Amino acid sequence: VMYEVKAAGTDEFLRWVLGFGAEAEIIKPITVREEMVGILKAALDGYKKGGRA
């Protein structure tokens, strides 16, 4: 299923997409896709290191 949305801000959009977990993928724009990749890599690094606590 493809869903197209116009968002006022990237931050809110990325948080919304994260709510779908692994079931969602940002196709374009590529800049937003790359931003999501960075967020996910940072989260994974945090888990690999045992968290931030």
Q: Is-contact 36 26, C-beta < 8 A?
A: yes
- The enclosing H or E element of 8 equals none
Q: Report pTM.
A: 0.81
Query: Residue 6: its pLDDT value, please?
Result: 86
Q: Where are the domains of the chain?
A: 10-48
Q: Is-contact 3 24, C-beta < 8 A?
A: no
| Tens of pLDDT, residue by residue, the chain (53 residues) | 888 888 888 999 999 999 999 999 999 999 999 999 999 999 999 999 886 65
